[in-house]
Chain A
Amino acid sequence: MFDDLRELYQEVILDHSKRPRNFGRLEANNRRARGHNPLCGDILSLYLVIKDGVVEDVAFEGNGCAISMASASLMTEIVKGKGEAEARELFERFHRLLTSDDADPDLLDLDKLAVFAGVREFPVRVKCATLAWHTLTAALDGQTDDVSTED
């Protein structure tokens, strides 16, 4: 019963939401941004250390639903060590996974992020899964204003 729910809230997602990785403030950051979803009140701050165009370190803090917290946690794991351009490109593929019906998770080369494929069945939750990534884009762009899922 509730297969789509169990697909959405699968073990990896629950684990990352309950024990988020790279959680906390990164004082030595040289890029940061705050993300906010005014519809549900989810909020997160993202801290980056960028060196020679590479994400050398990353951390986040905030609170929100399981999807937004797990997405932020997994994102920090996966972008660490990646180049800026590569990180942005990953978001594009991640977004395709969440929104297009014909996207094949296996072809998108998303590694662990493929666990979010279940979000596709819950369109109102796409914003929860992308909040961290929008915040990452803002931080990479050097934006200092808060970024909102409603902008």
Chain B
Amino acid sequence: MAVEVREQVVEAAPAYDVARVRDDFAIFEQKIHGNPLVFLDSAASAQKPRQVIEALRHCYEEEYANIHRGVYYLSERATEAFEAARVKVQRFLNAGEAREIVFVRGGTEGINLVASSYGRAHLGPGDEIILSHMEHHSNIVPWQILRAEKGVVLRVAPIDDDGNFLLDEFEKLLNPRTRLVAITHASNALGTIVPVKEVVKRAHAYGVKVLVDGCQAVVHMPVDVQDIDCDFYVFSGHKLYGPTGIGVLYGKAQLLESMPPYQGGGEMIRSVTFAATEYNVIPHKFEAGTPHIAGAIGLGAAIDYVSELGLDRIGAHEQSLLAYATERIGEFNSVRMYGSAKHKASILSFTIEGVHPHDAGTILDRQGIAVRAGHHCAQPVMERFGIAATVRASFGLYNTVEDVDALAAGVATTLDIFG
């Protein structure tokens, strides 16, 4: 019997060329205290490639006017560019429709919008909201504000000592009074990646809506909101190598339509008389006032940038750095690491015995190494581990093996100075 042999030509993907990537970031040309910049704080805010800066320049120098109102050429061009950015975000998240993408100032405003609009309209006394133990303050405080106003109850889904999210423990919290789950996709303090698709599945079984805080996730991996099936998803532009002051709230169209406006003003109305106002359709209903036009366009450029590199390849590059860093930093007997979840983003949180993180941050800084030292705006999870602060090194698409070596050398210097 003849066997058909089919030859398969597999083209090897080109290796991730981090040196070329770094050339896109002018900030690496400078020295910090006489040393090359080792930037390990992208989880707080990422550096910007020339492509994003060029998009901002192009917007302001060549295509700038207010949007959605002018009948003239420049306004049309600016409106087109702004709405094209919305479509880029839609594709980036694989949202079903562009009108499900609301531009906001950042992840924080996205959550506040949902708490304020959806929360006030749909939640009441005794209704329960489930958060995880490792939420950023921005996914805790808006719900506490709602609690003070509406009497909702906040429940906290636990994590284990490695920082793993405990899906079954979470499920036990679901009950007929549960109305909403507001949960991080990836923890900024521990790096833990939460199985949000499974969270959504179990929450939806109880008819509970789910908001996912994707600020630390969209930068490391491809995200598909239709696959996750979450009801809301938020992220910030500035952590995704885009401008500050711009972020995204994705919401299912039907939900956004059922929600009252967040702020009143221009843009969000269809007609206004002193007797009554007819609101605009989504997403414009939630975009009162002149938005951050250049910011949205810059975010679009950032999305083009990471998409061209490929989120899968960026993630793989960062994971190899995380593995190497975990090994190198783990070699120090006096270092204790926090967060070793099975699935984690490229975030390394640690303390050095006898050295306060703030002091370590100062010593590393003098060697040109930028890390975050503190509670990372996630005090409840710090408390969970009985610590006030950690040193956090986070790895982005431009970091290198040499950066990890510099961090290890920096920790050694820190120990040396502290005797």
Contacts and interface: CB of A to CB of B under 8 A. Distances in A.
Given A14-B419, A41-B374, 14 more contacts: A2-B363, A2-B367, A2-B413, A5-B417, A8-B362, A9-B359, A41-B388, A63-B388, A65-B358, A66-B359, A66-B418, A67-B358, A122-B362, A124-B362
A6 B417 contact: yes
Interface of B: 354-359, 362-363, 366-367, 373-375, 388-389, 413, 417-419
A39 B374 contact: yes
A66 B366 contact: no
A128 interface: yes
13 contacts: A2-B417, A5-B366, A14-B418, A14-B419, A39-B374, A41-B374, A41-B388, A42-B358, A63-B388, A64-B356, A66-B355, A66-B418, A122-B362
Contacts of B419: 14
A97 to B, nearest CB: 18
A125 interface: yes
A40 B358 contact: yes
Interface residues of A, number: 21
A121 to B, nearest CB: 9
B415 to A, nearest CB: 12
Interface string A1-34: 0101110110000100010000000000000000
Contacts of A122: 362
Contacts of A124: 362
Contact of B356 (A2, A4, A8, A65): A65
Contact of A41 (B362, B389, B413, B418): B389
Contacts of B356: 64-66
Contacts of B389: 40-41
Contacts of A128: 358
A67 B389 CA distance: 16
B359 A67 contact: yes
Contacts of B354: 18
Nearest to A43: B388
Contacts of B375: 41
Interface string A130-144: 000000000000000
A9 B358 contact: no
B359 A65 contact: yes
A14 to B, nearest CB: 6
A9 B372 CA distance: 20
A67 B355 CA distance: 11
Contacts of B355: 66
A40 B373 contact: yes
A70 to B, nearest CB: 10
B98 to A, nearest CB: 40
A8 B359 CA distance: 10
Interface in A56-72: 63-67
A8 B357 CA distance: 16
Contacts of A64: 356, 358
A4 B366 contact: yes
A66 B355 CA distance: 8
Contacts of B366: 2, 4-5
A128 B363 CA distance: 15
Contact of A9 (B357, B374, B388, B417): B417
A117 to B, nearest CB: 16
